[in-house]
A and B are shown apart, each in its own frame.
Chain A
Amino acid sequence: MDEFIATFHIDWKLMLAQVINFGLVFLALYMLAAKPLKKLVDERSNEISKGLDDAKKSRELLLLATEEYKQNSIKLRKLSVDTQVELKKDLEKLRQENIEKMRLNTEEWKKNRIKQMEIDKRELIESAKKDVMSLATFVAEKIMNDKNK
């Protein structure tokens, strides 16, 4: 063993110094370079995977929104068609109602008019009767006066 140590000049102080040197390399390489770089790479990987996930989610959301838009468009179209039909129905109903109302009004007016005409006719006959009677009285008075003369 002594011969081996003497041949290779083995010195525990040198060995310790080399271990310290390695320790320094370990500290420098790991603390200064490898660890921060690994952290950075991990962060970047996380960001990329998060970005990919977000893109995937956005795509899904976009597909959902497109589908919803399509559904809504169909619904709206159907609604507009329904509304149109309903509107037409309402308009027709309103027209019918108006016609009916006008017809009723006309009927009413006609009835009232006939009634008024009846009243007017009666008043006219009454007035004519009065006139005929006064004329007859006048004629009779005149005849009487002429006889007395």
Chain B
Amino acid sequence: MANNLEHNGEVVEETSHEVTIYAEPIFHVGNFAITNSLFTTWLAVLLIAIFSLVIRLNLKKVPGKLQNIFEVMLEGAMSLTDQVTNDRKITNKIFPLVFSLFVFILINNWIGLLPFISAIGFTVVESGQNVFVPLFRAGTADINTTLALSLMIIVASNLFGILTIGLWKLFNKYVNLKALGEIFTKFKKDKTVVIVSPISVFVGLLELIGEMAKIASLSFRLFGNVFAGEVLLASMSAIFLYILPGPFLFLEVFIGLIQALIFSLLGAVYFTIAAQDHNEHEEYETVRALDSHESLKLSP
């Protein structure tokens, strides 16, 4: 909040340093408002591109220090993704996306934590008050970024599902027409299908709602954590600028890493789930149940 203060007999207008929940525009290109988070994301993209270029130009069969670190990172990420997917083929397919996602989020999370970066900005007058607009804001501290990434992950995972198990099976996962049909086809064999099939249809609809929930949970988890971290650091700096934010800064560095890891691993989980055919397992179980039922009837 901006207040007018009296200092040595002069009225000094104080500048407001509020942390807003949304990213502030810093300039416009036509109608398109370039926000500070988008600007920071460009910086992150540039950093990653330079890093990639440096790696590319220094690639050797006998690795140097930087290449060694990157190789270890890559191997570690690969084995972690392997643990999630339990299938090397799926890992090979989704790893480039998951790893890029991890690096993108990590660098965006950490850029916002750079010391004094939030102090770089300019002052604008809004409703007669001086408001400080920071030039840099972590890309992931903007819901637009996290929402875009979440949407992309969910859409990509479903596309991956279509490519892996087919459109019909994926469609039946959400709108279970197959289960509805089974009411008529399997009714003679198994009367319980009248109860089980509508439940399956309802579960499919829940899965559809679950996809929406995934978008919300992914985007708000990341945004909430990063934004809360920025607010926490701003608050601590406001209390005592010099020492107090230190431990919290380290905490936020750790949180940034963890959040990037959670987001990318959840992405890997969604991809793996989308690549699995649940009906096969269910069909197998049904056949087994029917078989045991038949054998019970046949046995004296």
Contacts and interface: CB of A to CB of B under 8 A. Distances in A.
A116 to B, nearest CB: 100
B192 interface: no
A64 B144 CA distance: 70
Contacts of A29: 48, 52, 99-100, 103
Contacts of A26: 96-97, 100, 104
A73 to B, nearest CB: 43
Task: Give the dominant DSSP class at B's interface.
Answer: helix
A15 B21 CA distance: 16
B101 to A, nearest CB: 7
B143 interface: yes
Contacts of B21: 7-8
Contact of B145 (A18, A28, A38, A43): A18
B147 A37 contact: no
B168 interface: no
A12 to B, nearest CB: 9
Given A7-B22, A11-B33, A18-B139, A25 B48 contact: yes
Contacts of A144: none
Contact of B143 (A8, A25, A38, A44): A8
Interface stretch (B66-74, B82-90, B197-205, B235-243): B66-74
Contacts of B145: 14-15, 18
A32 interface: yes
B132 to A, nearest CB: 18
A21 to B, nearest CB: 5
B48 A40 contact: no
A25 B67 CA distance: 18
B141 to A, nearest CB: 11
Contacts of A32: 49, 52-53, 55-56
Contacts, number: 109
Contacts of B104: 21-22, 25-26
A37 B144 contact: no
Contacts of A34: 74, 96, 99
B184 interface: no
A19 to B, nearest CB: 5
Interface in A29-80: 29-30, 32-38, 40-41, 43-44
B154 interface: no
Contacts of A44: 61
Given A21-B42, A26-B97, A33-B52, A38 B74 contact: yes
Contact of A30 (B38, B59, B100): B100
Given A11-B33, A14-B35, A28-B45, 12 more contacts: A10-B143, A10-B144, A13-B32, A22-B100, A22-B104, A22-B149, A25-B49, A28-B53, A29-B99, A30-B96, A33-B55, A40-B59
23 contacts: A8-B143, A9-B35, A11-B144, A14-B148, A15-B147, A21-B42, A21-B45, A22-B104, A25-B45, A26-B97, A28-B49, A29-B99, A29-B103, A30-B96, A32-B52, A32-B53, A32-B55, A33-B51, A34-B74, A34-B99, A37-B55, A37-B70, A41-B71
